[in-house]
Amino acid sequence: MKYVLLLFGLLLSAQEKASFYFDFDQDTFNPKQNELFMSWLNKAENREILVINGYCDWYGTFEYNDTLAYKRIHTVQEQLKTKTNSSLFFSEDLKIKGFGERVQTRKERRYNRRVDVFYKVIPNKTIVEKPVVYDDPVVYTGQKISDDPKPFKQIDTELQPVDPEELVHLEAIPNRYANAKVGDKLVMKNLYFYDRSGIFVPESLPVMEELLAFMVNNPKAKIEIQGHICCQLGEDPEDIALIRAIAVHNYLVANDIDDSRLQYKSFGSTQPIHKIPEKNEKERNENRRVEILILEN
């Protein structure tokens, strides 16, 4: 996983992104989205497809949404194939990933029901016909996109309206980064990941949104995202600290923060808050963290 995330981080600075949205619990486009997708697909330009990512909202089980994300990717992928060897081709290092509901990059659920296509426009590219090899679409939970997901019951089919009072309340909450100065380092408190991964738990979304709001409201700000781990001295063979720093980086880039404003770095276990081995779970939680260093503001 760390190599995939690292590759994402390297690619994002030199690529364009197109996002395509799906209705609730659907893996095919509605007529309007299909029109938008075909308009993009038929552009008169040569494009190299680099990455295809699929997402879902948080209704349903992890297993259900993992499968649904890959079904949505499959829909887009099949349409892209119709243009291969003419105006579009797949990178030899094409990366396909279904995140299901495990990564929520937008507050409104409808914006999380989507597929993102990252690509590069290649002027005067001569397309040489060659067979395209696709990754085996097996989700890491063991499900395949050919399997029909079991219906998930007790779900609302309509989006709930946004309460204006709630928005006013949210905007009134002070941003911890608002008064940060160059050289300040802030811990992203309550930022949690699934075990040994760079996947945020849903409860961490407000923490990410707070950092995103700061970057949006302070367009001159530049930061370094620093990853740390707990529990073990020496090297981390899985480089979890780096993976998690990259995950924060990728969330910001996915929300239109320019990559030139972001750096990321892993410190492993070299800068613990508490001496290793830690005495209790509280100390371990404080050592395994992501910090934001303000470089410019």
Residue 104: the pLDDT is 64
CA dihedral 52, 53, 56, 61 (to 10 degrees): 110
Q: How far apart are CA 180 and CA 212, in angstroms?
A: 14
Residue 157 DSSP label:
S
Interior CA angle at 34 toward 33 and 36, to 5°? Answer: 60
The one-letter code for the residue type at 145 is: I
Residue 146 or 82, more confident:
82
Residue 19 or 146, more confident:
19
- Mean pLDDT throughout 91-102? 83
For a pLDDT cut of 70, what percent of the chain falls above it?
A: 73
CA-closest candidate to residue 7, choices 129, 122, 92: 92
- Mean pLDDT throughout 79-97? 84
Residue 130: the pLDDT is 47
Q: Lowest-confidence range among 146-150, 232-236, 239-243?
A: 146-150
Check pLDDT > 80 for residue 26.
yes
Interior CA angle at 97 toward 93 and 100, to 5°? Answer: 175
Residue 293: the pLDDT is 95
Check pLDDT > 50 for residue 260.
yes
Residue 37 or 269, more confident:
37
Residue 178: the pLDDT is 84
Helix (H, G, I), strand (E, B) or coil at 104: coil
Residue 150: the pLDDT is 42
Residue 144 or 61, more confident:
61
In this structure, the chain runs to a length of 297
Q: Of 54-63, 231-240, 262-271, 288-297, which has the strongest mean pLDDT?
A: 288-297
Helix (H, G, I), strand (E, B) or coil at 4: helix
Check pLDDT > 90 for residue 74.
yes
Phi, psi (degrees; rounded to nearest 5) at 18? -125, 135
pLDDT tens per residue across span 181-222: 999 999 998 888 776 777 777 778 888 888 998 999 999 999
Residue 241: the pLDDT is 86
- What's the mean per-residue pLDDT of the chain? 76
pLDDT band at 174 (very low <50, low <70, confident <90, very high): low
pLDDT band at 75 (very low <50, low <70, confident <90, very high): very high
Burial class (CB in 10 A: 0-12, 13-18, 19+), 250: buried
